[in-house]
Every structure is written in C-alpha cells, then in structure tokens.
Amino acid sequence: MEKSTRLARELDTREKTERPKHWMPPQLLPDPNPEPGYAFRWIRIASLGKDDATNISGKLREGWEPVKASDHPEIRMFGSSGNARFPDSVEVGGLLLCKTPVEFTEQRNSYYRNQAEAQMQSVDNTYMRENDPRMPMFKERKSTVTFGKGT
C-alpha cells in the first residue's frame, strides 16, 4: 500500500477563506478622522437633484468650510460626478463634508439655548399674567409619604 501524503484534518487551516468575524451594516455617511479643535458636519448642497444654494450659502456664512478630499484620504470616493460645485471636496449624495472650529459650534449652541430660554420665559410670563390668586392657574403639587403607626 502507498503512504498517503495528505495532512491530517486538524493540521489543515482555512485562514484565507475565513469569513469576517462580525458583520455590521455599512455607514451611509463616512466619518472623517477627527481633527483637534474642529467639528465636522455633512451639509446639504442638493436635494432631489436640484441645488440647494440657500442652505449651503447660509452654512458657509455661518463659518462652515468644505473639507478637502486630499486632507482625508480615509474617505473613499465612489462615482464622483465631474460637474461638482466643490471640485476638491468630499461630496456624497448631495451632501458636502464641512468643518468649523469647535468654538463656533459652542457659541451657536449657546445662542440657540438662550433663545429657547427667552421664549420659555416669555410663555411663562404670558401664562402667569392671567393668574388670579383667588383661582390659581398653576398650583405646585407636592406629595408626601407618611408612615402610619399601625393599629
């Protein structure tokens, strides 16, 4: 009888044909590598095939600037159109990747938080103006828990 030249099944490996360990759904929009001191955001430049000049011009005036594709090679571009309004930028499906200093985003958040607080204060003042002590519209409700002595 001939001696077999085959390896034992335990020694045979399938590393090259092994499947990935965990499947995850693909991200719709890729995340850029973070840059210290900058915040990133995807801004709409087109919707349903029509340019949205109002939105992008407002965001550019607000301090957002387009991110150069050469600065973020980790974002792979597929099927970029030749008629892009921002040629060296990262554009995906009518969205443009932009960045701004973190200070700007903090100032914007503070501005809108103050606006919301002023509106709530105005609503409260208008509501409480109608209040009459004989028939209060708002009554602080408190509940207390007492423990009985038992019978």
Q: How many CB atoms lie within 10 A of CB 67?
A: 22
The structural domains of the chain, with segments of one domain joined by +, span: 32-101
Closest by CA position to 30, among listed 91, 101, 106: 91
Residue indicated by tokens 């602080």: 140
pLDDT tens digits, one per residue of 51-70: 888 999 999 999 999 998 88
pLDDT tens digits, one per residue of 123-139: 888 877 777 777 666 66
Closest by CA position to 55, among listed 68, 41, 67: 41
Residue indicated by tokens 């200093």: 101
Asked if 89 contacts 68 with a C-beta cutoff of 8 angstroms, the reply is yes
**Confidence (pLDDT) at 144:** 78
Asked if 99 contacts 63 with a C-beta cutoff of 8 angstroms, the reply is no
**Residue 151 pLDDT class (50, 70, 90 cuts):** low
Question: For the chain, give me the number of helices (H) and strands (E)?
Answer: 2, 6
Asked if 51 contacts 45 with a C-beta cutoff of 8 angstroms, the reply is yes
